[in-house]
Structures are given as C-alpha cells and as structure tokens.
Structure 1
Amino acid sequence: MAVLVLSAVLVLVVGGCVCVVWAARGGPRWVRVVAAATRAAGELLHVLARTSGSSRQGQRGGSDD
C-alpha cells in the first residue's frame, strides 16, 4: 500500500514539473494553472523546511557553521 501511495506522489511531482516546463514555453491555460500550483506548493515546502530547520537548530543549542 505504501508503494502505491509513493508511486502516486511521484507521478504528481513529475507531472507538475512537466507542466512548469511546458507553461514556460507557452502551454495552454490549464497547464499554467497546474504549474502555478506546483510552484506554490514548492514555495510552501521551502518555507516549512526553513522554519522547521531553524527551530531544530535552536533546540541543539548551536549551529553547524
């Protein structure tokens, strides 16, 4: 069951990336909508990863610099 879920997530990610490239080349409207949603999801994940990373660094009591 886990393999099926991960496969579906992989298909969605690859499809989103294809839509981003296609939209950059002037694809149809639905491709631009999917590309915008993909970019928004990527930005959201980026922000969430940064905030969780900074809270983890604070818990360790130092930085890796």
Structure 2
Amino acid sequence: MEILVLSGVLALAVGGCVCVVWAERGGPRWVRVVAAVTRTAGELLSRSGSSRSRSGSDD
C-alpha cells in the first residue's frame, strides 16, 4: 500500500514538472494552471523546509 501511495506522489510530481516545462513553451491553458499550482506548492514546501531547518538549528 505504501508503495502505491509513493508511486502516486511521484507520478504527480513528475507530471507537474512536465507541465511547468510545457507551460514555459506556451502550452494550453490547463497546462499553465497546473504549472502555477506546481510552482506554488514548490514554493510552500521550500519555505516550510527552510523555516524547519532554521528552528532546528536553534538548539
């Protein structure tokens, strides 16, 4: 079951990356929407990771 969930997450991540590249080359509207969502999710994860690493270094 865990393998299935991880495979799904990997497929979503790869699909999002493909949409980002396709949107940069002028893809259809739905691709630009998926690319925007992917970029936003990446920014949120990046910010949460950097704040987590900062709070962990205060020890």
TM-score, L = length of structure 2: 0.99
Mind listing any 5+ residue stretches in structure 1 that lack a counterpart?
60-65
**Larger Cα Rg: Structure 1 or Structure 2?**
1
Relative contact order higher in (CA < 8 Å, ≥ 6 apart): 2
Mind listing any 5+ residue stretches in structure 2 that lack a counterpart?
none
What's the RMSD between the two structures over aligned residues?
0.3
Aligned length: 59
What residue in structure 1 maps to residue 49 of structure 2? 49
- Which runs of 4 or more aligned residues in structure 1 lie more than 2 Å from their structure 2 counterparts after TM superposition? none
Identity %: 64
TM-score, L = length of structure 1: 0.90
